[in-house]
């Protein structure tokens, strides 16, 4: 009744979940550093946030390497084709039980809207949060680097916080969208096992037309 | 095992008594002779084996060997009670400033001069050139027996003396020869004799200096505790030719130097934290070094003052002084702990223990309100001394201070603080007569001024740097207490610096909040519609 495709390779799943853990850690500790609430105490929050930053940096180094050696980086190339169909699906089709306009394949894991969203994340939010985060991390060296006159911690921190809010908003949307598979946990299950189960009642048009 | 050891030790000890045997006892190395740190044993000096009837008699003998000592002391504030601040050009020192404790030394020398490093200090015109009036003993006594009783203008009393005359009270004489023979290096008790007791009693004035520093535990003072550094005051306030570095009149607010190296003179003030610890003192938690550009070490490392069980005075209200009890004597009220909270001669006091300091930007310049400076009731409270500084003058650091609140007399017509004649057996001293106009007339006269006749009380503030009682590192102020949005955050009132956890922009949080609410709300709404439409289908 359903066919399975092996869509997320082992490294990819490892990368995804460890990144998820790190980013959740960074959100929780980051907003504590920001003063939004008191949870671990400022000192522990800073320590954990810093540790997570370095860990994530390492993880990314490996992941970038992986993306390029496997060619997976192409998954993030945007294509405007079918974006309209996707928008229509999320705003109308999903409520009327219309078929999903996109079928995941090993070579195309992300639907066009997803591609755009991840690209925005990669091209805008990430540099914002990483750039500001690294400057923040090396605040103690600003004077030695001769940039203490031209930078202000207030500006760096504000940019970082802006990035943090964006990534947090992204996180919630992302989590919600995982429930939009053919069953509520279908996507999450796929990211855990690597296997995506296709529901053949809803043969996507995109797949048919190919 | 232990029993055997003890037995052996006892045998060895017995063997010592029989001298021939001593060196053969294997477990008992020959005790090395005790190393005397001083090359001179003053008790062996014939010159000191005599009866001394006064301080100057002793000093004369000291100077017969230490020929230059008095001249060195003459160049200290300890002697001159005077200091011209080159920065502000104000003439300061005990001779000149008015504070909000006992207010002024002028006209009260009998009492105040007990803390002058000289003898017979009758008034502010004492002979600055007198060598024999330099008091060597007060700083070098090792016996703890040396006293300069109140009322004797800074002189010790060598023979039992009735004081005040006719009162029947006897001030006991002390043996100056014994003290002189045991003379040695300045101990903390010598400094403390005056510096612990500023303001008229133990711990009263500074808050970070009191007698508990004689033998503090490590929590109270890492540097001075026996199991910590076991420092004396002079370890940091390292004198050179009797000149004592580290001044409250002109503090070093910012020290960008590297640690002192023996033989190298990098520091004009070897009493700063940096002169030993340098600029990046945090080895394990390097992140903390990012604070050292703007935050004084003391701010984190002295979480509270008056931590040693001796309370410090936090306020003094002279305006309520003057009440008498049923017998006509000045009224005295004490609190549960036995500390005087009201006394007819002085007014109301408030004490504090474990007091969290206040914090401000401080650049080392302290501006005083002196006897000639005009003051205005509209500008209450008047700052007796104000620590200056700003976040962006490049010279300021965030410092902890004790802010002492006072309310004291001022001359309403002359618009100045008053010089108050407090101590003395005469008929105008306030402590004897409880009569302000008389005391103010006499006080003004003592400094060549005239009191207008009209007085009132005015709120004043005095600032004291908090720099002693350094806690161990695990007792430093937790990050949380500054990096917080809470109203009681320690650095709540510090402006001009971005403090993570304290500072934020309202619009940014609003925008971010909207984004997150939008994300969650959008998801929820979408999900609800999904559920609703699915039901309909079935
Ligand atoms: C999901 C990712 C992240 C989130 C949600 C996040 C969030 C935050 C927030 C809200 C703050 C408080 C800023 C303030 O109020 O001043 C903060 C501080 C900070 N973040 Fe991040 N951040 C993230 C990633 C990173 C990364 C990747 C780095 C480093 C490259 C980084 C480095 C820092 C540093 C150094 C601080 C300052 C800590 C301190 O006060 O010492 N963050 N972060």
Contact B516, A165 (CB under 8 A): yes
Look at residue B203 and give its three-state secondary structure. coil
How do the residues of chain B divide into helix, strand and coil, expressed in percent and rounded to 5?
Answer: 30, 15, 55
B456: left (phi over 0), alpha (psi -120 to 50) or beta: beta
Rg of chain A over CA atoms, in angstroms? 20
Tell me whether strands B416-417 and B366-368 are parallel, antiparallel or unpaired. unpaired
Percent residues over pLDDT 70 in chain A: 93
Report which of B452, B522, B202, B433 is spatially closest to residue A177, judged by C-alpha positions: B522
* Look-up of token digits 């990046």: B280
- What is the reported pLDDT for A90? 87
Q: Which of B27-41, B90-104, B129-143, B188-202 has the lowest mean pLDDT?
A: B27-41
Distance CA B421, CA B447 (A): 11
Pull the structure tokens for residue B114.
């007990």
Residue of A139, A169, A176 lying closest to B515 (CB–CB): A169
| A33:B527 CB<8 A | no
Pull the structure tokens for residue B151.
């009322």
Task: Count structural domains, chain B.
Answer: 1
End-to-end CA distance of chain B: 90
Considering only CA atoms, which residue is closest to atom 42 of ligand 1? A133
Q: pLDDT higher for A25 or A150?
A: A25
What confidence category does residue B12 fall into, taking pLDDT thresholds of 50, 70 and 90? low
What confidence category does residue A76 fall into, taking pLDDT thresholds of 50, 70 and 90? confident
pTM, to two decimals: 0.88
Q: What's the gap in Å between A72 CA and the centre of ligand 1?
A: 29
Q: How far is CA B345 from the centre of its chain?
A: 25
Look at residue B395 and give its three-state secondary structure. coil
- What is the reported pLDDT for A203? 45
Considering only CA atoms, which residue is closest to atom 11 of ligand 1? A30
Pull the structure tokens for residue A186.
């279908």
Give the model confidence (pLDDT) of B390-426 as tens digits: 999 999 999 999 999 999 999 999 999 999 999 988 9
Alpha helices, DSSP H, located in B337-398: none
What number of other Cβ atoms are within 10 A of residue B284's Cβ?
7
Best residue in B512, B514, B533 for a mutation probing chain A (most A CBs within 10 Å): B512
Domains, chain A, in order of start with CATH, read 4-209 (1.20.950)
DSSP B344: T
Note whether residue B471 is domain-resident. Answer: no
Q: What are the b/e assignments for A82-95, b being 16+ CB within 10 Å?
A: beebbeebbeebbb
Percent residues over pLDDT 90 in chain A: 47
Look at residue B284 and give its three-state secondary structure. coil
Pull the structure tokens for residue A63.
């992941």
- Average pLDDT rounded to a whole number, residues B79-95: 96
Does ligand 1 have an atom closer than 6 angstroms to the CB of A134?
A: yes
Distance CA A79, CA A77 (A): 7
Distance CA A143, CA A145 (A): 5
3-class secondary structure for B488-524? CCCCCCCCCCCCCCCCCCHHHHHHHHHHHHHHHHHHH
Pull the structure tokens for residue B478.
């937790």
Closest atom of ligand 1 to A46 CA is 38
- What is the reported pLDDT for A123? 84
Note whether residue B503 is domain-resident. Answer: no
Contact B470, B208 (CB under 8 A): no
Rg of chain B over CA atoms, in angstroms? 30
- What is the reported pLDDT for A1? 43
Q: What's the gap in Å between B289 CA and the centre of ligand 1?
A: 19
Look at residue B368 and give its three-state secondary structure. strand
Look up the domain containing B73 and give its range: 39-81+116-184
Residue A208 has pLDDT above 50, yes or no: no
Distance CA B25, CA B420 (A): 72
Considering only CA atoms, which residue is closest to atom 23 of ligand 1? A26
Model ipTM over 0.90: no
Q: What's the gap in Å between A56 CA and the centre of ligand 1?
A: 12
Note whether residue B332 is domain-resident. Answer: no
Pull the structure tokens for residue B248.
């409250």
With contacts defined as CB-CB under 8 Å, which chain A residues touch B483? 33, 35, 42
Note whether residue B146 is domain-resident. Answer: yes
- Average pLDDT rounded to a whole number, residues B508-532: 95
What confidence category does residue A206 fall into, taking pLDDT thresholds of 50, 70 and 90? very low
Residues on chain A bordering chain B, Cβ-to-Cβ distance under 8 angstroms: 32-36, 38, 41-43, 46, 50, 90, 94-97, 139-140, 143, 152-154, 157-158, 161-162, 164-166, 168-173, 175-177, 179-180
Report which of A157, A148, A138 is spatially closest to residue A33, judged by C-alpha positions: A157
Does ligand 1 have an atom closer than 6 angstroms to the CB of A49?
A: yes
B225: left (phi over 0), alpha (psi -120 to 50) or beta: beta
Mean per-residue pLDDT over chain B, rounded:
92
* Look-up of token digits 């935050």: B295
Contact B88, B76 (CB under 8 A): no
Pull the structure tokens for residue B80.
């001159």
Look at residue B62 and give its three-state secondary structure. helix
End-to-end CA distance of chain A: 21
Residue of B504, B518, B537 lying closest to A35 (CB–CB): B504
The alpha-carbon gap from B275 to the nearest alpha carbon of chain A, in Å, equals 21
Does ligand 1 have an atom closer than 6 angstroms to the CB of A53?
A: yes
Q: How far is CA A89 from CA A92, A99, A166, A175, A187, in A?
A: 5, 8, 24, 18, 17
- What is the reported pLDDT for A71? 85
Residue A16 has pLDDT above 50, yes or no: yes
Pull the structure tokens for residue B180.
């002189």
Note whether residue B261 is domain-resident. Answer: no
Peptide bond connecting B381 to the previous residue in cis, omega within 30 degrees of 0: yes
**Nearest-Cα residue of chain B relative to residue A92:** B530
Note whether residue B122 is domain-resident. Answer: yes
- What is the reported pLDDT for B465? 97
What confidence category does residue B165 fall into, taking pLDDT thresholds of 50, 70 and 90? confident
* Strand residues in B16-97 grouped as ranges (E): 83-84, 91-92
What number of other Cβ atoms are within 10 A of residue B293's Cβ?
15
Burial of residue B218 (number of CB atoms within 10 Å: 0-12, 13-18, 19+) = middle
Contact B173, B160 (CB under 8 A): yes
Note whether residue B45 is domain-resident. Answer: yes
Pocket test for ligand 1, best of A49, A53, A63, A152 (most atoms within 8 A of CB): A49
What confidence category does residue B22 fall into, taking pLDDT thresholds of 50, 70 and 90? very low
Burial of residue A114 (number of CB atoms within 10 Å: 0-12, 13-18, 19+) = middle
Q: pLDDT higher for B167 or A34?
A: A34
Pull the structure tokens for residue B222.
């890492």
Give the model confidence (pLDDT) of A131-189 as tens digits: 999 999 999 899 889 998 889 999 999 999 999 999 999 999 999 999 888 888 888 88
Burial of residue A76 (number of CB atoms within 10 Å: 0-12, 13-18, 19+) = middle
Contact B364, B251 (CB under 8 A): yes
Residue A204 has pLDDT above 50, yes or no: no
Tell me whether strands B455-465 and B382-383 are parallel, antiparallel or unpaired. parallel
Give the model confidence (pLDDT) of A105-125 as tens digits: 777 778 778 888 888 888 899
Q: pLDDT higher for B226 or B18?
A: B226
- What is the reported pLDDT for B78? 97
Note whether residue B364 is domain-resident. Answer: no
């Amino acid at each position: 009744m359903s066919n399975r495709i092996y869509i997320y390779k082992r490294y990819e799943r490892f990368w995804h979940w460890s990144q998820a853990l790190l980013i959740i850690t960074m959100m929780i500790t980051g907003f504590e550093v920001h003063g939004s609430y008191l949870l671990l105490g400022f000192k522990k929050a800073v320590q954990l946030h810093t540790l997570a930053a370095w860990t994530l940096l390492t993880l990314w180094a490996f992941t970038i390497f992986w993306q390029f050696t496997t060619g997976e980086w192409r998954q993030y190339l945007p294509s405007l084709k079918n974006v309209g169909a996707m928008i229509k699906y999320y705003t109308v089709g999903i409520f009327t039980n219309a078929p999903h306009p996109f079928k995941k394949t090993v070579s195309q894991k992300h639907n066009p809207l997803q591609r755009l969203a991840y690209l925005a994340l990669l091209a805008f939010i990430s540099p914002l949060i990483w750039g500001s985060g690294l400057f923040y991390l090396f605040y103690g060296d600003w004077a030695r680097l001769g940039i203490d006159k031209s930078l202000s911690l207030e500006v760096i921190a504000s940019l970082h916080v802006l990035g943090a809010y964006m990534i947090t908003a992204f996180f919630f949307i992302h989590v919600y969208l995982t429930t939009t598979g053919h069953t509520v946990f279908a996507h999450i299950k796929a990211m855990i096992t690597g296997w995506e189960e296709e529901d053949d009642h809803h043969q996507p048009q995109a797949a048919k037309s190919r | 095992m232990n029993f055997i050891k003890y037995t052996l030790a006892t045998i060895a000890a017995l063997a010592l008594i029989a001298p021939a045997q001593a060196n053969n006892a294997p477990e008992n190395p020959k005790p090395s002779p005790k190393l005397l740190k001083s090359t001179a044993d003053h008790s062996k000096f014939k010159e000191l084996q005599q009866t001394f009837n006064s301080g100057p008699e002793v000093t004369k003998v000291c100077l017969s060997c230490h020929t230059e000592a008095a001249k060195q002391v003459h160049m200290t504030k300890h002697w001159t009670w005077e200091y011209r601040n080159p920065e502000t050009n104000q003439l300061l020192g005990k001779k000149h400033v008015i504070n909000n404790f006992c207010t002024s030394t002028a006209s009260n020398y009998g009492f105040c001069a007990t803390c002058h490093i000289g003898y017979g200090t009758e008034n502010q015109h004492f002979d600055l050139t007198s060598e024999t009036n330099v008091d060597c003993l007060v700083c070098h006594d090792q016996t703890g027996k040396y006293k300069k009783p109140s009322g004797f203008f800074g002189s010790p009393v060598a023979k039992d003396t009735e004081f005040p005359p006719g009162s029947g009270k006897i001030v006991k004489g002390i043996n100056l020869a014994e003290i002189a023979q045991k003379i040695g290096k300045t101990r903390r008790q010598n400094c403390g004799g005056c510096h612990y007791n500023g303001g008229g009693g133990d711990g009263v004035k500074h808050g970070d200096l009191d007698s508990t520093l004689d033998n503090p535990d490590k929590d109270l003072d890492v540097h001075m505790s026996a199991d910590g550094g076991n420092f004396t005051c002079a370890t940091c306030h390292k004198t050179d030719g009797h000149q004592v570095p580290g001044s409250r009149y002109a503090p070093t607010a910012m020290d960008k130097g590297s640690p002192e190296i023996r033989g190298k003179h990098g520091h004009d003030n070897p009493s700063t934290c940096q002169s030993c610890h340098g600029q990046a003192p945090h080895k394990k938690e390097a992140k903390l070094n990012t604070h050292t550009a703007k935050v004084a070490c003391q701010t984190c490392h002295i979480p509270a003052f008056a931590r040693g069980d001796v309370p410090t005075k936090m306020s003094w209200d002279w305006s309520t002084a003057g009440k008498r009890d049923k017998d006509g004597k000045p009224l005295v009220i004490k609190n549960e702990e036995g500390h005087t909270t009201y006394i007819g001669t002085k007014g109301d006091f408030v004490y504090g223990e474990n007091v969290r300091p206040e914090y401000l930007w401080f650049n080392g310049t302290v501006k005083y309100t002196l006897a000639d400076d005009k003051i205005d009731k509209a500008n209450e409270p008047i700052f007796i001394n104000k620590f200056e500084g700003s976040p962006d003058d490049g010279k300021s650091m965030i410092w902890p201070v004790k802010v002492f609140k006072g309310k004291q007399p001022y001359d309403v017509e002359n618009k100045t603080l008053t010089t108050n004649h407090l101590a003395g057996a005469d008929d105008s001293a306030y402590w004897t007569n409880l009569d302000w106009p008389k005391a103010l007339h006499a006080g003004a006269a003592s400094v060549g001024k005239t009191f207008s006749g009209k007085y009132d009380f005015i709120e004043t503030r005095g600032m004291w740097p908090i720099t002693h009682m350094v806690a161990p590192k695990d007792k430093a102020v937790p990050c949380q207490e500054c990096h917080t949005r809470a109203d009681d955050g320690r650095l709540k009132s510090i402006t001009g610096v971005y403090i993570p956890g304290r500072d934020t922009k309202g619009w940014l949080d609003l925008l971010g909040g909207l984004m997150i609410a939008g994300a969650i709300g959008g998801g929820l709404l979408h999900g609800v519609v999904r559920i609703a439409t699915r039901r309909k289908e079935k």
